[in-house]
Structure 1
C-alpha cells in the first residue's frame, strides 16, 4: 500500500475508533466548538452527525460551511484534525440509519421532525498517533537527558 493511502486509512481508523470530536464552526468572526458523536463513512467520504433544526451550528454551517473536526484520545495519545465542508440535510432514511442509543438523550425517536443530518466532506487531515502516555513520557525524559528529539509516534498531513 502506498504511504499516502496508509495515511488516509489511518485518518479514517483513528476518527472511527475515537468516535467523538469537537466540531468547530464559524459564527461571525468567532470560532465555536462543541462535542459531537461522529459517524465515519469512509465509503461515502463523509462524516455524519445528527443535529437539531433549531441549533445554532446549522445556521453557522449554512453561512460558513468550512468546519474542523478535532478527535482526541488523550489517554492513548491519538489525535486527528479534519478540515472539510459541511452541509445540513433532511434525509429521513439516513437519519434512521444513523439512529443510535446516544441520540435518545436529545430526541424521542428517529421520526422526530426536528432531526437533521450534518454531513462533513473532508478535504484534508492531520493525525498524531503515539505509542501511549507512559511510553511517550519515557521517550521525552530520555530525550531531555540526551538533548535529542523524542520519537513520539507517527504524524502526517493527509489530503482527503
Structure 2
C-alpha cells in the first residue's frame, strides 16, 4: 500500500467508484443468517450516506431494525472494479428525500413517490475496501505474465479506507 495516497484521496476514490457502479448487493443479518439482495444505490458523498428505496412490506426492514450493521458490495466485473463498504443502516420515512431521489427505476416498484409503502434506507459508512484494476484484458495479460515469471501480478489499487 502506497503512503503517497492520502486518506482523503482514498475516501474520494471509494465514493467515486460506488457512484460509477451504482448497483450493489446489500447484506443484512437475519438472526444467524446473512442475506444479500441487489439494490440501486443513490450515493451522496456530501451527506456521507448511501440511500436506497425500500418497501415496508419486505423483511429487510425488520432485519435492519434488529441489527443495523450492513455490508454493501459493489462490483463491476467488466472494469475489474470492486468496493466493499460496511456501515450502519436506518429505515426512515422522509417524503422530501424520497421525492428528491425519485427516478424512473423506482417506478418499476411503486406508482409514485407518495406510495405509503416506500421507505428510505440510509447507510452511513464506517469503512470500506476497494479494488480498482486496469480492466479485464490487461489483468489477464498481467496474470499470464506473472504465471510465466513465477511472480505476483500487479493488478491495480487495493486500499482499506476509514470512512
TM-score by length of 2: 0.97
Q: Confirm whether residue 36 of structure 1 aligns to residue 54 of structure 2.
A: no
Q: Give the whole-Å Cα distance in 2 for the aligned partners of 1:51 and 1:17.
A: 21
Match of 1:108 in 2: 111
Deviation of 1:3 (Å): 1.5
2:83 equivalent in structure 1? 80
| Alignment partners' CA distance in 1, 2:57 and 2:97 | 19
Give structure 1 regions of 4+ aligned residues with deviation exceeding 6 angstroms: none
After superposition, where does 1:8-19 map in structure 2 within 5 Å? 8-19=11-22
RMSD: 0.9
Pairs within 5 Å for 1:120-135 = 120-135=123-138
Equivalent residue for 2:23, pick from 6, 15, 20: 20
Question: Which of 53, 57, 63 is matched with 1:60 structurally?
Answer: 63
Structure 1: stretches of 5+ with no match in the other structure? none
**Unmatched 5+ stretches in structure 2:** none
Whole-Å separation in 1 of the counterparts to 2:7 and 2:95: 35
Q: What number of residue pairs does the alignment pair up?
A: 160
1:145 is matched with 148
